[in-house]
Homo-oligomer: A and B are copies of this chain.
Amino acid sequence: MKKSLKEIARLIEGEVVGNGSIEIEGVAGIEEAGKGEITFISDKKHLPLLETTQASAVIVSREIKEARVSLIRVENPYLAFSQVMRILAPYQKPTKGVHPSAIIPEGVDLGKEISIGAHSVIEEGVKIGDNTIIYPLVYMGKGSRIGRDCIVYPQVMIREGVEIGDRVIIHSGTVIGSDGFGYIPHKGRQHKVPQIGKVVIEDDVEIGANVTIDRATLGKTWIKRGVKIDNLVQIAHNVVIGEDSVIVAQVGISGSTEIGKGVTLAGQAGVAGHIKIGDKAIVGAQAGVTKSVLPKTIVSGYPARPHTQAKRIEASILRLPELYKLVRELKKRIEELEKKKEG
Q: Which residues of A contact B (CB under 8 A)?
A: 27-29, 32, 76, 78-79, 82, 85-86, 89, 91-92, 99, 101, 103, 117-119, 121, 135-137, 139, 141-142, 153-155, 157, 159-160, 169, 171-175, 178-179, 181, 183-184, 186, 188-194, 196, 204, 206, 208-210, 212, 214, 218-219, 226, 228, 230-232, 234, 236, 244, 246, 248-250, 252, 254, 262, 267-268, 270, 272, 285-286, 288, 290, 301-303, 312-314, 316-321, 323-324, 326-327, 330-331, 333-334, 337-338, 340-341
* Copies of this chain held together in the complex: 3
Known contacts being A32-B219, A183-B228, A190-B226, is A252 close to B234, with CB within 8 Å? no
Known contacts being A172-B157, A232-B232, A338-B333, is A249 close to B252, with CB within 8 Å? yes
What 17 new A-B contacts, CB under 8 Å, besides A175-B210, A286-B288? A76-B186, A79-B186, A79-B191, A82-B191, A92-B160, A121-B137, A169-B179, A171-B175, A214-B231, A268-B288, A286-B286, A301-B302, A303-B314, A320-B320, A333-B334, A334-B334, A340-B341
Most chain B Cβ neighbours within 10 Å, of A79, A154, A190, A204: A154
| Contact among B191, B214, B320, B327 with A313 in the assembled complex (CB-CB below 8 Å) | B320
What are some 28 contacts across the A-B interface (CB < 8 A)?
A78-B193, A82-B193, A82-B194, A89-B194, A99-B103, A101-B103, A137-B137, A137-B139, A139-B154, A153-B157, A159-B172, A169-B192, A171-B175, A173-B212, A175-B210, A181-B248, A181-B249, A190-B228, A209-B212, A232-B252, A234-B250, A249-B252, A285-B288, A286-B288, A313-B317, A319-B324, A323-B324, A326-B327
Query: What are the residues of chain B within 8 A of A267 when measuring CB–CB?
Result: 234, 252, 254, 270
Query: What are the residues of chain B within 8 A of A226 when measuring CB–CB?
Result: 189-190
Query: What are the residues of chain B within 8 A of A330 when measuring CB–CB?
Result: 327, 330-331, 334
Query: What are the residues of chain B within 8 A of A312 when measuring CB–CB?
Result: 321
Q: Are A171 and B179 in contact (CB under 8 A)?
A: yes
A297 CB to nearest B CB, Å: 18
